[in-house]
Every structure is written in structure tokens, then in C-alpha cells.
Amino acid sequence: MKVLKFGGTSVGSASHINNVISILEEKSKKDKVICVVSAIGGVTDQLQQSGLLAQQGDPAYLEVARAIEEKHLQLLTELINENAAEIKAALKEQFQHLKNLLNGIYLIRELSPKTTDKLLSFGEQLSSFIATETLNARDSNAVLKNAQELIVTDDSFTKAQVLLRQTHSNIAAYFKNAPQQITILPGFIARSFNGEATTLGRGGSDYTAALIAAALNAKELEIWTDVSGMFTANPKLVKQAYPIKNINYQEAMELSHFGAKVLYPASIQPVLELKIPILIKNTLRPDESGTRISTPDVKEDRNATGISNIDHITLLTLQGSGMVGIPGFSKKLFGRLAQDRINIILITQASSEHSICIAIDQKDVQKAENGINETFAYEIERNQLDSVLIEENLAIIALVGSRMKHLQGMSGKMFGALGKNNINIRAIAQGASEMNISAVIDQKDVKKALNTLHERFFEGDHKQVNLFIAGVGNVGEKLLVQIKQQRKYLKEHLKLNLRVIGVSNSKKMYFKSDGMDLKTWKEELKNGEIARLDGFRKKAIDLNLRNSVFVDVTASAAVSKEYIYYLKESIAVVACNKIACSAALEDYQQLKSYALKYNAPFLFETNVGAGLPIIDTLQNLMASGDKIVSIQAVLSGSLNFIFNNFTDQTKFHDVVQQAQEQGYTEPDPRIDLSGVDVARKILILARESGLAMNLEDVKNKTFLTDNNNASDTVADFYSTLIEDEPHFQSLYASAKAKNEQLKYVATLTENGASVGLQEIPIGHPFYNLKGSDNIVMFFTARYPEQPLLVKGAGAGADVTASGLFADIIRIGNN
């Protein structure tokens, strides 16, 4: 004897019903088969809706009823094309009953729980009838048995309690002599001891099937649905979720109680006692193994089993001095809620007993608030208690697993991961069984929280990083090329899944919430929305993805002003833009403190020396307790290029132009030649060394002439370079006479920071610096005589992009 249950999603269309028929035909070759069916997908909701409309006096209820009728007749036509007239007539008769009932509700404007059950029971009656007729039209000899004749309940309409003894004996008696190979039964519906139609609660067809399996001591109970088993999290919300192969009853019960809708929680109880395994299978993919729920001794090597969520929760908090140490207080509270038939989903109480907090379904809030305030009116009036505090739009997420109690640090890991992603936790509960750790969070954070926890506990330490890149010019584009090339490597070797979610240039922006195709992003960006900095930020915040990073590849002051807003949302910031770190000291300090406060890294390695690990090295020295004594550095790739190429055989103007053409200078070369760019860099190194300094504090002895400095435009500036060629030649000649090299040097000592052109003698580490290379010498307490030296290409789009990339990876590995 096999008991199978097919959910509404499995009987939603003719092709799905055909799958069901094939599965039944196959199974019934070997065994007698009992098949419980739900209403056609969506029909229970439609019935409910038509009833509510009729009750409100809205004639639209008839349209909904007509839609239900059409859906069923259409199915019948598709499934049974011949000799269907009689079957159609029988169906039509049922629809007439349905319409009569709805008309009655419309006339008296009343929809009681009792009438609701009568109304909803049409769904399963209709689906089971169609399934039986379809099988019989194919010579399968199926018998339709009305479950209302077997399952007896009390009269708690809409969620009736089953009278087990009588139900068991009815089921056993009926099937004892039932000769047919296939029996079809409607799920969800039953009858009270008074003979009224009742239902077992939404999703209750699973329970019908479990009752039958238990009464007949079946070998197995199969629940067929639209997903391939019970997943590590709801697969509709967590893309990476996967089916749990084996799970014990307690874990499955805990997951389904906490929102894993795939199995109705009450269904486990009847089969648990008899140790009948439950198999959850996918009607559309019958070959996939699905999930097997069985006895607790399944040994699986996993720390947690699944995560689930209950949406639309309200928290009620009752607090006040009147509660402390007074016995019977909770009894009074829970007694009242029980009396009002309000289900409590979660309870927390601090040991101070100053407050008690409970989570309930949002729909019960009004009733609960009134009831509690009434019950404690006396205490509230005497200020021993505050009126009950209500917080809405919340949800519960729960981490479930039976091995969790043997493991330390599970809740630390759970809350650490949530905190890092700026998910605020309003209440926490952990049962003494330690099978479940639950947290109440904002409804809007549910998807992010599920994905964050899934990544933390179920993806073998794989981590997704979501990038929002502003500025996709020269360097930004190179960064995207590098990400595209390295994605596979990062996944395999560093377990990092880098996704680019948003890109923007100064004109357009484009987003793809599950990661863009790095081959076609340029085209998509062209057709994107008009770019706005606040719009870009809003999108990044609204998408609310875990491990989000904002990457600034611009040189814009306006973009640098955005960082603070990203950090506040715990979105990390990576910048090659130097403006923020060289702006006013308070601004820089604020960014640094926000990064700490909101647990969001702020990285800017490329501010100094492009991809060279200069800031990282400095931060590591500081973090390990070293002290910076002085820094000497050549930090301008462009000035280095210029003075390496400038001789008495060239013209200063031409060399500067060449540097600009090769992309070594800023778009305005005056920023490089005036020393401002280098001054910003040494300022950043000074600040990272722990000094509170501003740009004005950096001594800048210019090598330009007053004439150069007075130029208004870049073109003007170039003309003054021609006019003042003799000045530059004299700088060159002075150095050459001593056999020395001109280098633009930045220095930080105990006397402060300075930048300027220097003549460097042979033998000095700066003397042989080639091309656009940078060099930094750190003299520290641990490296007092022989400095720690970092040297290499310090300018260019490729190395800058790779520096940004390294910062992004640092965040990923964090």
C-alpha cells in the first residue's frame, strides 16, 4: 500500500496532471495506491477571495466564480476529449452548488468560519473528481472516495482538530475491503462530528495523506510537489539552496514549523510514531531523489540542516516594574492569548523579568493588543506596566539542525554574519533543545538574511561579493576585463563569487540584480537609465545584497562625498579616487570611524602607487606595533617619467605632452607638475602613519615658474612651458654638472611632510628609478637603517585596476 499526495502546484495544468497520471499508473503496477490531491493551484485562494467579495457585497464575486469554473472546464477539455459530456454535466452541477452558496453569502453579507469551510471544500472536491475521471478515461479503474466520510474532526472551523481514534478506524475499515488498485481522495477537507464540512488548515492536504498513511501503517508516505525535496532554504528566495537528502523528523518539523511550506508541520506527527518515512518528490522531475524524512539516527556530516523564515510577524512587548518577581504574570498573559485563540510563534524574556516579548502573526495583532490591554488594565492604570508595545513588518528567520547542540559558536557565527551585513536583530530565541536558533528581523531584510546565512553555513565557505562600480572609463573598464578573466579562478581557488550588479559612467547607469554578463555590459550601459549618484546609491541600498561593495573609479569630488552614505549601510567602499582621503582631516576621520562602526571596509590602496602594496604594508607595520620614523618616496609616475626623459636634447614641453599622451598624467597635468598630486599622496601616508595632518601642512616647494603657475588653462600652461624652457634646462644642467638625477621626492619626518624636486646622487636607491616607477622607503623602529622598500610601476590603467581588484579580493576574504 502506497500513499501519495500531490499538491496544488502538481495539478495546476493539464500537462502537470498528465505527469501525476503517469506516476500513478507506474506505481499502481506493483502496489495498491492511495492518492490524495490538493485543489488545483490557486483555486483555494480564489474561493476565499470570491467569498470575501460576496460578503462585502461586491458582485465581482461572480467573475471570480466564473474564472474558477472556466479553469476546471478547460482542464477537463484538455485531459478528456471524448465522451466528456456526462462528466462536464456533473462538474457543472457542482458549480451550480458553488454559485448558490456564494449567492447566499452575498445576500446575507456574512462569511462565518463554518461557511468558509463549506466554500473552500469545493477546491479539493473538484480536483479529485477531475483526477479520477481522467484516470478512468484511460482505463485505470480509479475510485474516488470522499475524505469527508473518513476524517472526523471537532468543529474548530478553518483549522479543525482531527479526532484520531474514529478517523483511524474509519480509514482502516474502508481500505480493508476496498478492491480497487487506485483510490483518489480530496485532501484538506473533513467533516465534524456534527456532519458539517471542515478543513484542516491551509496547506492541510499533506496532513490528510499523513493520517491515511498512519492509519494503514503504510511503508512510506510520498509528498509530491513543485520542488525536488526539502531544501536548505526556500529555493524561491535562495538560489544556491539545495535539497537535503536525509533529514530526521524533528529537524523537518522544526523547519516546517518555521516556514518551510513544502511540508505542513502537523503532517509529521501521525507518521512519526510509526516511523513511517516521508519522501518529498518533484512531480516535474520524478527521477530526482528528493528528500527522505526518517528516524533520528541518520548520521549526516553537517553543522546545520536548513534555514527557514516566517514572514509578516508582529512583536508585542509588555514591560514595566510591575512584572518583576511576580508569579503568575506569564500565565495571565498566555492565558488571555489562548482564550483569544492567538498562536504564539516565539517568546523571549530577559532574566531581569522587566519585559516579555512575544511574536505573533500580523493578522492577529488587533485582537492581541485589545486583549492584553484589557487583561492588564489595572496594572497599566497604576503605571506598573506600560501599554503593550507593538512593532510590525517583521519576520523570523531560524537556523535549524539537530547537531547544533554539540557545536560551539553556532550562534556567534549566525549573528556575526547577520551583523556584518547590517541586518538588525530585534529579538532572539533558542530552545533548550538547541535544534533551532531564531531571530526576529525586519521583513525587508529576509532575503538578504537567508542568503547571508546560507552562504555562511551551506556553501562550503563560498562567498558572494556584489559590486557597484562608478566610473567605467579607462581604469574601470580594465577592472571589468580583469574580473571577467579571473572569475573562474577566484571561485575555484579563493571560493569567491564576484558579481557586478551596477555600473555607471557620468551619463548612464545599468543594473542587473543577479549579476551582469561581463561580455555585454557596455551595450547594456548604453541603453541604461540616466546616471544619478543618489539613484545609483538608492539602488544599491534597495537591492540589499549581502557583501556589497561600492567601487569609485572616478576622480570626482561629488562621488567621494557618497562614501559616507554607503558605509552607513554597511556597504564597503573601494576607491582609487584620492579626494576623500586627502580632504579635510575631519572628513577623512569620519570615513574611517564609519568604516569601523558599520563594519564596512574602506580601502584605497590605489591612492598611492597604483597597484603597489604601499598602504597595505604601512597598515600592517602599524598594526603589528612598529613605529614610522620617516618615509622617503618617489610617488609620481608622471613626474618620474618626465624627469627620466627630459635632457638637454629634448624640450620640457614635449616631454610633458608625451607623458600626458601616454596616460601617465592627470587630465590636467598641472595637478602633477605643481606637486599637488604627490602632496596628497604623502598626506595620505602621513595620516595612515597616525599623524593628524592637512594638505596645507605639506610643504610644497614648486619647481615651476611664476609664469607657469599663473596660467589659466591647460593650453596656456603648455605655452608657458615653451616660454620658460631655459628655466627647465637650468634645472637639468645643475644636476648634470654634479652627475646627479632629478627626482620629485616626497618626505615625511618628525619635522613634517614636504614634496619637491631634488638632485639625487649616484648610489641612492632613487637614482636608477626607471620609467613611471614609484619607490617608497619606510624607516621604522624595526627597520631603522635599511629601510623597508616597495618599488615598481606606480601608474597606468592596468596596474591601477589590479590594485582595485586586490582591494575587492581583500574584502571578499575578510
Give the residue, chosen from 41, 203, 265, 611, that forms a contact with Mg ion under the rule CB under 5 A.
Answer: 203
Query: Does the protein bind ligand ADP through residue 7 (CB under 6 A)?
Result: yes
Query: Does the protein bind ligand ASP through residue 632 (CB under 6 A)?
Result: no
Which distant-in-sequence residues (6+ apart) come within 8 Å of 398 by Cβ?
Answer: 254, 255, 258, 259, 307, 308, 309, 310, 436, 437, 438, 439
Query: Does the protein bind ligand ASP through residue 39 (CB under 6 A)?
Result: yes
Cell numbers found for residue 772: 613611471
Main-chain phi, psi angles of 37, to 5 degrees = -120, 150
Query: Does the protein bind ligand ASP through residue 611 (CB under 6 A)?
Result: no
- Rounded to a whole number of angstroms, the minimum distance from the CB of residue 156 to ligand ASP is 16
Closest C-alpha among 37, 14, 38, 18 to residue 26:
18
Q: Kindly state the helix (H) or strand (E) to which residue 778 belongs, with its residue range.
A: strand 773-780
Residue 233 touches which of ligand ADP, ligand ASP, Mg ion, none (CB < 5 to 8 A by kind)?
Answer: ligand ADP
Query: Does the protein bind ligand ASP through residue 51 (CB under 6 A)?
Result: no
Cell numbers found for residue 535: 539613484
Residue 204 touches which of ligand ADP, Mg ion, ligand ASP, none (CB < 5 to 8 A by kind)?
Answer: ligand ASP
Query: Does the protein bind ligand ASP through residue 203 (CB under 6 A)?
Result: yes
Q: Kindly state the helix (H) or strand (E) to which residue 673 belongs, with its residue range.
A: helix 670-673
Q: Which residue is nearest to ligand ADP (CB)?
A: 7
- Rounded to a whole number of angstroms, the minimum distance from the CB of residue 190 to ligand ASP is 12
Q: How far is CA 56 from the centre of its chain?
A: 39
> Which residues inside 120-139 make contact with ligand ASP, applying CB under 6 A?
123
3-state helix, strand, coil in the chain (%, to 5): 45, 20, 35
Q: Kindly state the helix (H) or strand (E) to which residue 703 belongs, with its residue range.
A: none
Query: Does the protein bind Mg ion through residue 229 (CB under 5 A)?
Result: no
Query: Does the protein bind ligand ASP through residue 159 (CB under 6 A)?
Result: no
Coil, helix or strand at residue 516 = coil
Query: Does the protein bind ligand ADP through residue 19 (CB under 6 A)?
Result: no
- Opening angle at CA 250, ends 244 and 251, nearest 5: 30
CA 367 to CA 45: how far, in whole Å?
24
Query: Does the protein bind ligand ASP through residue 38 (CB under 6 A)?
Result: yes
Main-chain phi, psi angles of 533, to 5 degrees = -65, -40
Q: In 181-220, which positions are buried (b, 16+ CB within 10 angstroms) versus exposed (e)?
A: bbbbbbbbbbbbeeebbbbbbebbbbbbbbbbbbbbebeb
- Rounded to a whole number of angstroms, the minimum distance from the CB of residue 213 to ligand ADP is 16
Q: Give the residue with the Cβ less far from ligand ASP, 8 or 502.
A: 8
Q: 616 with 605: CB under 8 angstroms? A: yes
Give the residue, chosen from 2, 3, 8, 121, that forms a contact with ligand ADP under the rule CB under 6 A.
Answer: 8
- Rounded to a whole number of angstroms, the minimum distance from the CB of residue 176 to ligand ADP is 29
Query: Does the protein bind ligand ASP through residue 202 (CB under 6 A)?
Result: yes
State the binding string over 22-61 for ligand ADP (x if CB under 6 A, else -): ----------------x-----------------------
Q: How far is CA 675 from the centre of its chain?
A: 45
Can 299 be counted among the known catalytic residues? no
Instruction: Tell me which of 681, 736, 743, 791 is the catalytic residue.
Output: 681
Query: Does the protein bind ligand ASP through residue 290 (CB under 6 A)?
Result: no
State the binding string over 176-195 for ligand ASP (x if CB under 6 A, else -): -----------xx-------
Q: 347 with 357: CB under 8 angstroms? A: yes
> How many other β-carbons are positioned within 10 Å of the β-carbon of residue 407?
12
Residue 123 touches which of ligand ADP, Mg ion, ligand ASP, none (CB < 5 to 8 A by kind)?
Answer: ligand ASP
- Rounded to a whole number of angstroms, the minimum distance from the CB of residue 228 to ligand ADP is 9
Cell numbers found for residue 97: 452548488
Query: Does the protein bind ligand ADP through residue 203 (CB under 6 A)?
Result: yes
Give the residue, chosen from 69, 117, 226, 477, that forms a contact with ligand ADP under the rule CB under 6 A.
Answer: 226
Please give the positions annotated as active site: 681
Query: Could you list the residues that contact ligand ADP (CB under 6 A)?
Result: 7-10, 38, 203, 225-227, 230-231, 233-236, 260-262, 306, 308
